[in-house]
Structure 1
Amino acid sequence: MPGPDLDTRIETYYVRVRGVVQGVGFRHHTVRKAHALGVRGWVANLDDGSVEAIVQGAANQVDLMLEWLRRGPPHARVTDFHSEERYVEKRYERFEQH
């Protein structure tokens, strides 16, 4: 019996991005990209200058979002990227900027 289709299986990832990621529109561009890909969750600045996010959606879309977050928007300079899958029951309804 085949496993869940990558287009329908819901994944949730926690992401932390460091570098020049605040003051360059990182959160705004992340929300736009998430909406374009159809993923849900949130993105927020942290006091240490990094950005964190929760990304949830179909496996293929989440993979594309994680790939985009590794680079960030044009004016960002990502120097460190960390992501880990989280097993959560919560289902986000949209992608928000905090």
Structure 2
Amino acid sequence: MPSPDLDTRIETYHVHVKGLVQGVGFRHATVRRAHALGVRGWVANLEDGSVEAMIQGSANQVDLMLEWLRRGPPHARVTDLVSEERYIEKRFERFEQH
């Protein structure tokens, strides 16, 4: 039985995704997946062709979102994903594309 802490404590992770992740609907699909999971935060393209995101939710929600980001949508080809937990006071209200 999972610990109740996994569903109540809010975690925030900064994520950097490399590979073929621009021009393939990555950000739009990320927003849809985040909404389906109830994750909050944002996703944005970077000038170097990679994508960054800030994801916030319960440990279970964050784990599921990170798992999805490692693959991305069907036409994406993720070659590297780096995630780092961030300790911030801000609580995001929704998940948005920047």
Shorter-chain TM-score bucket reads: over 0.9
How far apart in 2 are the matches of 1:90 and 1:8?
A: 16
Q: Distance in 2 between matches of 1:32 and 1:4?
A: 26
CA RMSD of aligned residues (A): 1.0
Cα distance in 2, alignment partners of residues 61 and 33 from structure 1: 11
Q: Does residue 80 of the first structure (1) align with residue 80 of the second (2)?
A: yes
Q: Which residue of 2 aligns with 1:6?
A: 6
Q: Deviations over 1:37-93 (max 9, x none)?
A: 000000000000000000001110110000000111100000011000000000000
Distance 2:83 2:11 in 1: 12
Aligned residues: 96
Separation (CA, whole Å) in 1 of partners of 2:61 and 2:5: 13
Q: Which amino acid aligns with 2:33?
A: K
**TM-score, scaled relative to structure 2:** 0.96
Which segments of 5 or more consecutive residues in structure 1 lack a partner in the other structure?
Answer: none
Runs (4 or more) in structure 1 with deviation over 2 Å come to: none
Answer yes or no: is 1:33 the counterpart of 2:37. Answer: no
Counterpart residue type for residue 42 of structure 1: W
State the identity %: 84
Amino acid at match of 2:48: D
Instruction: Please say if 1:91 is aligned against 2:71.
Output: no
Counterpart of 1:89 in structure 2: which amino acid? E
Counterpart code for 1:13: Y
Q: Unaligned stretches of 5+ in structure 2?
A: none
How far apart are 1:19 and its partner, in Å?
Answer: 0.3
Corresponding residue for residue 55 of structure 2: 55
Q: Distance in 2 between matches of 1:4 and 1:89?
A: 21
